[in-house]
Amino acid sequence: ISFTPDGTKVMTANEGEPNDAYTVDPEGSISIIDITGGIPNLLQSNVTTLSLAVFNGQEAALAASGVRKVKSTSTLAQDLEPEYIAISADSQKAWVSCQENNAVIEINLAAKTLGNIWGLGQKDMSIPGNGFDASDTNGEILIANWPVKAYYNPDAMAYLKAGSTNYIVTANEGDEKDLGGFSERTTVGANTYTLDPTIFPNASVLKATHNLGRFRVTNVNGNKDGDNEFEEIHALGARSFSIFNADTKAIVYDSGDQFERHVAANHPLIFNADNEANGAKARSRAKGPEPEGVTLGTIKGQTFAFITLERTGGVMAYNVTDPNNVTFTDYKHSRMTTAYGGDNGPEGITYIAPENSATGKAYVIVANEISGTLSMYEVVLSPTLANGDVKSEKASFNIFPNPVKKGNTLYFNKTKSYELYDMSGKLLGKAQNALTVDTSKLATGVYVIKTSDGDVKRVIVQ
């Protein structure tokens, strides 16, 4: 539920979720309630509900733009699930996210009519800077690139205007349809999830539990030719926040793998932890930190985005004054790490400007679903706040398991030409475009792998 900034209307996103058996699937819709006559005087005639049935029959064209229709036997209006609303500062337009559908619907508030619907596309997780930790069983934080395409699937959104351009800021949590009567959730390692051997010659490597084997994906998308094999691996949730130009529909910024990298480097005890128990990496196989909520605040001419992490906890802060030059500023959490406790499961977040607070200070207030608590963080604009201390790191070449037991296979996370040396510098072997190393002929000890790209890794054979 959202109020327009001018106070004349209330908007509701009517999700229309199906029942668990998926025998009832209401249509999603969006309502605009005119409150200019006063709330006590409201009549049904003050409510305009916009039906999404107008989009039925456009599935193919919309799918090409990145809109997901998940349940094939539902109409598109039934499948669309409006989730969250962002409204322009002049109260003339609104944008509604349909999370599971990876889509945004534009609303003309002045005319109380639907605009167009557009898909947010996918994030290529194989590109440097888009890495993620994919396994909850490999025993170490391994933020690496994988051949995965992730839908953004934002939950909350916020409106940003820079110059004359409208933007929407999205918290890319990810969500799937996982019900008793229908579920799209599976894993890369599932026997029913067959990878096309031409595209994925390293399928057995990817399906290993310490790689992508337990990583959750959708079985609705990725099979491009209708056979029984998947040509692409599609995941739900980009583990980031993004800024989209709402006028051109183009993405202008994504935080990449910064959330995971910052927490790994500075708060490893809660890295990809769940919100119901401590334990690093518990959510690595799913959606990682799960960016959930987002709100914006302007202090002394600088605009900041505050993003909650539903699983890890806490709030990420970024300077978004210039959407084309976004910088990380800070991360704070108030969950306990020595034992489970504190504030867990942040959902909603709101910014209180100094002029609206009793103390004259700026705050963000976070509602924590699991702990049933409210967190209040004072926002202080320091001289270095907008400088940013997170850098996108080039995705690294990784080998695993390391140490490796003699006779077992050593895996690469990407195809590489390499040379193998012992610690004296003696060349023991080399290979072109390899994905594995056979350790059966190696004595126990320490070795060095050097790739043709100049990457160097030390490996221990036990």
pLDDT tens, residue by residue, 295-331? 999 998 999 999 999 999 999 999 999 999 999 999 9
CA distances from 433 to 145, 202, 418, 452 (A): 17, 11, 8, 10
Per-residue pLDDT at 86 exceeds 50: yes
Quick one: pLDDT at residue 376? Answer: 94
Tokens encoding 196: 């096309």
Contacts of residues 419-428 at CB distance under 8 Å and 24 or more positions apart, as own/partner, are: 419/449, 419/450, 420/447, 420/448, 420/449, 421/447, 421/448, 421/449, 421/450, 422/447, 422/448, 423/447, 423/448
**Residue range 147-203, pLDDT digits in tens:** 999 999 999 999 999 999 999 999 999 999 999 999 999 999 999 999 999 999 999
The one-letter amino acid code at 364 reads V
Amino acid at 8: T
Share of the chain above pLDDT 70, in %: 97
Q: What pLDDT band is residue 338 in, cutting at 50, 70 and 90?
A: confident
* C-alpha span between 316 and 242 (Å, rounded): 13
Query: Mean pLDDT across the chain, nearest whole number?
Result: 93
- Write out the DSSP string of 264-278: HHH-GGGTT--SSS-
What sign for the dihedral angle of Cα 138, 141, 143, 148? Answer: positive
Residue 229 phi/psi, 5° resolution? -125, 150
Contact of 418 with 449, CB cutoff 8 Å: yes
Of the given ranges (141-145, 225-229, 299-303, 382-386), which has the lowest mean pLDDT? 382-386
Q: Which two tokens stand for residue 2?
A: 């959202």
Tell me what pLDDT residue 435 has: 86
Q: Tell me the chain's radius of gyration from C-alpha atoms.
A: 24
Q: What pLDDT shows up at residue 396?
A: 56
Closest-CA residue to 205 (of 1, 462, 398, 409): 409
Asked if residue 2 has pLDDT above 90, the reply is yes
pTM of the model: 0.84
Spatial distance between the Cα atoms of 183 and 460, rounded to a whole number of angstroms: 42
34-61 burial, b for 16+ CB within 10 Å, e for fewer?
eeeeeeeeeeeebeeebebeebeeeeee
120-131: pLDDT as tens digits: 999 999 999 999
Contact 151, 102 (CB under 8 A): yes
Domains and CATH numbers, the chain: 1-119 (no CATH), 120-175+237-396 (no CATH), 401-461 (2.60.40)
Q: Region 229-251: what's the mean pLDDT?
A: 98
> Contact 84/109 with Cβ under 8 angstroms?
no
The whole-number pLDDT of residue 212 equals 98
Question: In the predicted model, what is the mean pLDDT of residues 74-94?
Answer: 98
Mind listing the pLDDT tens digit for each residue in 191-212?
Answer: 999 999 999 999 999 999 999 9
The predicted model gives 392-421 an average pLDDT of: 76
High-pLDDT (> 90) share of the chain, %: 84
Q: Which of 15-19, 127-131, 380-384 has the lowest mean pLDDT?
A: 380-384
What is the reported pLDDT for 262?
Answer: 95
Identity of the amino acid at 334: S
Per-residue pLDDT tens for 258-282?
A: 999 999 999 999 999 999 999 999 9
